[in-house]
Structure 1
Amino acid sequence: MLKKIYTIIIVPYTLFLFYLMFLGMGRFQYEENLITVEPVFSTFKFIQGPTKTIDIVTIVLGNIMMFIPFGFMGWVIPGLKKLKPLIFGFISCIVIVEALQYFTRMGIFEVDDILLNTFGVYIGWLLRRFLDRKLNY
């Protein structure tokens, strides 16, 4: 039952994420193309800056939690049940999305986003494995 619900929901959920990543949450087109390539350090700088705690939690945890559902892709595409193909495929896709944000100037290409999003997929993969064992999938 969970697999069927997931299969129905994942496409609209993905479209919703695209909306958030390009148009939602007060997005606007930057004057120039922006890129942040300092892994982890840029997130620490962001956390230590004048940003409100709720914004930090929303952005950092959001970048992880919003991608947990993609760890369940093995339910839809059996080749993605193993971690290595799932992570490789996800990183390929998220790099393209980050590049689109860069080229359209509707966001910033951020290495930390890729790392946090991938961590979310990993958590989802662990949850899927747990559920598969518990529910005998």
Structure 2
Amino acid sequence: MMKLLKDFFIVSYCSVTIYIVFFARRRRGLSERFLNVVPIKYKLVELAKLSPHFDKEWYNFYLNLFGNIALFVPFPLLIFLVIGVNESYKFIFISFFTSLLIEIMQYTFKVGVADIDDILLNTIGAIVGVALMRGIGRLNIHA
């Protein structure tokens, strides 16, 4: 039963993540590549341009901000289940480079915006995931 749950989690998480980062409707139909290599600057510019009233633009801003974090919270568990890593710095290192690879692929295939902020937010999500795993205490995660 545990193997079935493990396999279900792995397949589900990977499928949802691949869909979100490569195939979601907002990712389709780009005619040119977009690249942001300046951390935080464009998020602040985007925030300053938002209307003073909460609307769809605010919703999209927060969805992008917190969605990038939430997307990678389960990632350390995936790494643990698939390759057996159990050291915090390795989870973070693998998460960072996986996010970097995703952004490179998005740029290469003109799918979404290749954004340094996404890499930072994904890595923050992985750090939260590691903290949760360590907090649960059932997994022997080393600092």
TM-score (norm 2): 0.81
Partner of 2:46: 46
2:34 touches 2:110 (CA, 8 Å); kept in 1? Answer: yes
Structure 2: segments with no counterpart, 5+ residues: 52-56
Between 46-55 and 105-114, report the one with greater CA deviation: 46-55
Whether 1:122 aligns to 2:127 is yes
Structure 1: segments with no counterpart, 5+ residues: none
User: Share of identical aligned residues, percent?
Assistant: 27
- Superposed CA RMSD: 2.2
2:68 touches 2:118 (CA, 8 Å); kept in 1? Answer: yes
TM-score (norm 1): 0.84
Partner of 1:86: 91
Q: Quote the offset at 1:115 in angstroms.
A: 0.1
Change (3 A) 1:5 1:47: farther
1:60-92 deviations in Å (ceiling 9; x for gaps): 0111011100122324432x2212111111222
CA distance in 1, matches of 2:81, 2:89: 15
Q: What amino acid maps onto 1:39 in structure 2?
A: P
CA distance in 1, matches of 2:47, 2:106: 22
Whether 1:28 aligns to 2:34 is no
Count of residue pairs brought into register by the alignment: 134
Whether 1:74 aligns to 2:76 is no
Local SS of the residue matching 1:112: helix
CA distance in 1, matches of 2:69, 2:110: 23
Q: Quote the offset at 1:112 in angstroms.
A: 0.2
